[in-house]
Amino acid sequence: MESFESLGLSEITLKVLKEKGYEEPTPIQQKTIPAILKGNKDIIGQAQTGTGKTAAFGLPVLERLPEKSKNVQALILTPTRELAIQVAEELNSLKGKKRLSIVPIYGRQSMELQLRSLKKGIDIVVGTPGRILDHLKRGTLKLDKISYLVLDEADEMLNMGFIDDVREIIESTGNEKRTLLFSATMPFEILQIAKNYMHEYDVLKVNNGQLTVSQTDQIYFEVFEADKFEALCRIIDIEKDFYGLVFCRTKIDVDTVANHLIERGYDADALHGDISQSLREKILAKFKKRQLNILVATDVAARGLDIHNLSHVINYSLPQDPESYVHRIGRTGRAGKGGNAITFITPEEYRKLQFIQRGAKTDIRREKLPKIEDIIRSKKLKIIDHINEIVNLNAQSCYLEMSKELMEHNKPEDLISALLQYSFPDELNEKRYVEIGDAVVDKKGKTRLFVTQGKLDGLTPRKLVNYIKEKSNITAEKIRDVQILDKYSFVTLPFREAEILLTSFKRRKKGSGLFITKAKKGRT
Ligand code: AMP
């Protein structure tokens, strides 16, 4: 397995990565970082969001750009403003002390603000096509001297009807640049862009190989990031015999989660790359003896563990790719019994979960988190079981005397209640649990629409997007999966926006002009 050190990154960058808690490069980073750092060819990277692709192009580009330039040095085009902001944030956190200014430029943000930062001088512009084109046309942004052009999520830009804008932007850049094109899929139009606008290029992709998933019951819960810890506690508490690994993305997350668990009284510990070999062995020995029943770990630290009989694997953060999902959950399942693989996703991560499901060729079922009253009930049963076990093992004689004495003055049920209260002062208190908000993932919340015009009527993705924007006042990033066929077209909108649009059509009569209705199932 490659390390960040072996990819040729500078000491400064390595320090930043250590501080961020990244332990090792993701597969796409292993391929693109050396290629961008050392080579000079253009690059097509086939990678999904969530596979670490921002750092895959960001780290080497940040290393190669000089400070104190007078021009914009790199442009990163993204399909949505959320992604533009996210990419700019990630790059700012990766640049360390290097004096490079990185700014997101997107629609619906004040022009004034953007003009001011453009005047001051920006090294890396991260922007959405529409607004970048506006600035180019106004002459407030010049791209003729950039040395890097990154097209991020190129297929999404195509889906959203931005491809003509993208072409126009590419044409405004100079010839002395490297183009790095990232796309999850490679439709014809994207390959055409590569053919028409890129120099000699390498295609770098991550091979998922053959993935097989064991007999594991796989479920996911939708939770907000802030509720994840509570959700984890509920899952552990409802189980009779929890014995599991909890996976986090970074060392920092591992430490935080493990410390919180310990503070709350669980037998947990942390395992990651900064833990010395001798301590690691001690922790593992305790885990195997079940003195610990929860290990919080990074993927790296869990590699090579010969523990396979876990009751649970919990993906506290989603794994980077299908391969590591399969690898993580392969650890559950006790002889003869299936294990449980539980994945937490935040509302934004639904698409990444689908990508993992597809890649791992598996089915991950959605469930609701256990309710507080269910957990309390399960805890009561556990206590009763435990007490019965002790009774069967013969009560300790040293307690019998006390017991007789207590019985003389009290009713048995009062006595036992008092003893339970004495033993579990806080365990059965509902207030131990915090309410968890319902994180509704935006998936069914979308409507596929049918449009009565197509290519033969002169409709283009851009025209359709503009038309919908005008009619429903919605932003372009919410308009997805535009599909223009000869005689008709399809487009997807979030449920609420689709309703607004459809209502405006209800009032009109279907005539020869463009008309939009809900798409019928099976028609798309
Ligand atoms: P991206 O695919 O760029 O959206 O990245 C997905 C997430 O993975 C982001 O939260 C990154 O901060 C994180 N990430 C990227 N590279 C690594 C790495 N090598 N190790 C751990 N986390 C990473």
Q: How high is the pLDDT of residue 168?
A: 96
Ligand 1 touching residue 26 (CB < 6 A): yes
Q: Is 50 in the pocket of ligand 1 (CB under 6 A)?
A: yes
Residue 12 one-letter amino acid: I
Residue type, 183: S
* Residue 90, token pair as written in the block: 């990630």
- Say if ligand 1 is within 6 A of residue 32 CB: no
Distance (angstroms) between ligand 1 centre and the Cα of 50 equals: 6
Q: All domains of the chain, ordered by start, with CATH?
A: 4-205 (3.40.50.300), 216-369 (3.40.50.300), 373-432 (no CATH), 446-518 (3.30.70.330)
Test site for ligand 1: of 249, 250, 346, 351, most ligand atoms within 8 A of the Cβ: 249
Question: For residue 384, what are its two tokens?
Answer: 């009763």
Residue 80 has pLDDT above 90, yes or no: no
Ligand 1 center to 52 CA (angstroms) = 4
Centre of ligand 1 to C-alpha 497, Å, is 31
Please say if the pLDDT value at position 440 is more than 60: no
Rounded CA-CA distance 31/350 in Å is: 26
Instruction: Report whether residue 249 contacts ligand 1, using a CB cutoff of 6 Å.
Output: yes
Q: What is the three-class DSSP state of 183?
A: strand
Distance CA 223, CA 160 (A): 28
Q: How far is the CA of 329 from the centre of ligand 1 (A)?
A: 20
Q: Which tokens belong to 509?
A: 């009569």
Q: Which position has the higher pLDDT, 432 or 64?
A: 64
Nearest to 31 by CA among 21, 19, 43, 20: 43
Q: What is the pLDDT of residues 467-485, one digit of tens each?
A: 888 877 778 888 888 889 9
**Is the predicted pLDDT of residue 433 greater than 50, yes or no?**
yes
Ligand 1 centroid – CA 249 distance (Å):
8
Residue 22 Cβ inside 6 Å of ligand 1? The answer reads yes
DSSP state of 225: G
Q: 479: which residues sit within 8 A by CB, 6+ positions away?
A: 160, 161, 465, 468, 469, 491, 492, 493
Distance CA 182, CA 203 (A): 10
The pLDDT of residue 494 is: 78
Question: Residue 388 Cα, ligand 1 centroid: separation in angstroms?
Answer: 49
Average pLDDT, the chain: 87
Pairing of strands 124-127, 102-105: parallel
Q: What is the largest CA-CA distance in the chain?
A: 96
Confidence of residue 272 (pLDDT cuts 50, 70, 90): very high
- Mutating to test ligand 1, I would choose from 18, 51, 54, 254 the residue with most ligand atoms within 8 A of its C-beta, which is 54
CA neighbor of 132 nearest in space, from 114, 156, 152, 105: 105
Ligand 1 closest atom vs CA 4: 19
Q: Looking at this protein, which amino acid is placed at residue 160? A: M
What is the model's pLDDT at position 64?
96
Task: Please state, as a whole number, how many other Cβ atoms lie within 10 Å of the Cβ of residue 298.
Answer: 25
Residue 51 in contact with ligand 1 by CB distance below 6 A: yes
Mean pLDDT of 416-430: 87
- Cα–Cα dist 2/460, whole Å: 45
pLDDT at 417: 93
Question: pLDDT per residue over 111-131, tens digit each?
Answer: 888 999 999 999 999 999 999
C-alpha of residue 90 to centroid of ligand 1, in Å: 9
Q: Is 55 in the pocket of ligand 1 (CB under 6 A)?
A: yes
Is 3 touching ligand 1 by the criterion CB < 6 Å?
no
Least confident of 19-28, 52-61, 353-362, 465-474: 465-474
Ligand 1 in contact with 104 (CB < 6 A)? no
> Predicted confidence band at 107 (pLDDT cuts at 50, 70, 90)?
confident
Is residue 319 lining ligand 1, measured as CB closer than 6 Å?
no
Is pLDDT above 60 for 88? yes
Other C-beta atoms lying within 10 Å of the C-beta of residue 238: 18
User: Is-contact 451 499, C-beta < 8 A?
Assistant: no
Burial of 337 (0-12, 13-18, 19+ CB in 10 A): exposed
Q: Is the CB of residue 461 below 6 angstroms from any atom belonging to ligand 1? A: no
Which residue's CA is the closest to the ligand 1 atom numbered 18?
A: 22
355 close to ligand 1 (CB < 6 Angstrom): no
CB 259 less than 6 A from any atom of ligand 1: no
Cα of 152 vs centre of ligand 1, distance in Å, is 15
Q: Whose CA is nearest to atom 21 of ligand 1?
A: 22
- Write out pLDDT tens, residues 478-513: 888 888 998 899 998 876 677 777 777 766 655 667
